[in-house]
Amino acid sequence: MIDSQELFFMSLSSSDSSLDAFQTMAQRLSQLQRVSDVDAFTDLIVKREAQGLTMIAPQILMPHAVGSVVLKNTVLVGLFPTLQHWNRGLSVRLIVMLATPNAAAAQNDPQLMTLLTKLADEQVTEKLVAQKTVSQVQLLLQ
């Protein structure tokens, strides 16, 4: 069971680019008081994506950022109503966004490890992208 204080869910509306989606999610993290600076955080996420795509399974992107703008370990899961097709041939249905103040905080977090172990299972990731609603996704990951 993942602590709900750390794991949040939201539904995303269709967007033209990954940047739009990242900004929307960064704003949500800011509302949740997990991120102090929306733009700086989005910048970290985009820079990481530029180094190599973070597709962890078909249709699932795991953008992540490490930095002092993050106030607390947080995972925000966003589900699009349909499959989004972006630049670089990216097709995304689900975004699992990871935010952490420093690497050590993430590596020693048992709840985060539990979530990652679930995401390492192809049967789980296949099920995730087949879901229609956020609450169904939530049920699978909690």
Partner 1 sequence: MQLNDQQQALIDILMRQNDYITAHKLSEVTNTSTKTIYRNVRSINDSSESGDVIEAVRGRGYRLNYDRYIYERNTSVDNTLDYSPIERRNRILLELLFNAPFDLNVDRLYEHYYVSETVIENDISLMNKLALSFGLVLKHRYRRLSITGPEPNIRQAIRNTINKGDLMDKESIDDFIDDFHELSSFDERFLIAQLEYLERSLKLTIPYPYNINIFSHLYILMSRFREGKVVDDPEQNRLTADQKALTERNPKFAEVAREIIGKIGRYLNTTLPAIEDFYLLQYMVSMRYDRELPSTNHEDRLVDQLVVFYVDGFDFNGRAVDRTALVADLRNHIKPMVNRLKNGISVANHLLKEIGSEYPDELAQVKQLSSEAQTKFALPAAISADESGFITLYFAKYLEQAKPAKRILIMCASGVGTSQLIRVKVQKAFPDLDVVAVVSKDGYLKHAADYGHVDLIITTVNVTPADNTSVVMVSAMFTKADRDQVANWIERRDS
Considering the complex, state which of residue 55 and residue 81 has its C-beta at the smaller distance from partner 1: 55
Q: Which is nearer to partner 1, 52 or 132 (CB)?
A: 52
Nearer residue to partner 1 within complex by CB, 88 or 132: 88
35 Cβ contact partners less than 8 Å away, ≥ 6 residues apart: 26, 29, 41, 69, 70, 71, 74, 99
Contacts with partner 1 by CB under 8 A lie at 48, 51-58, 62, 64-66, 98, 100, 103, 106-107, 112-113, 116-117, 119-120
Residue pair 94/103 in contact by the 8 Å Cβ criterion: no
Helices 38-51 and 18-31: crossing angle in degrees, nearest 10, is 140
Residue in this structure with the two tokens 């930095």, named with its chain if needed:
67
Least separation in angstroms between CB 62 and partner 1? 6
Cβ proximity to partner 1: between 13 and 51 the closer is: 51
Going by C-alpha positions, the residue among 32, 88, 27 that lies closest to residue 61 is 88
* Shortest distance, position 24 Cβ to partner 1, whole Å: 19
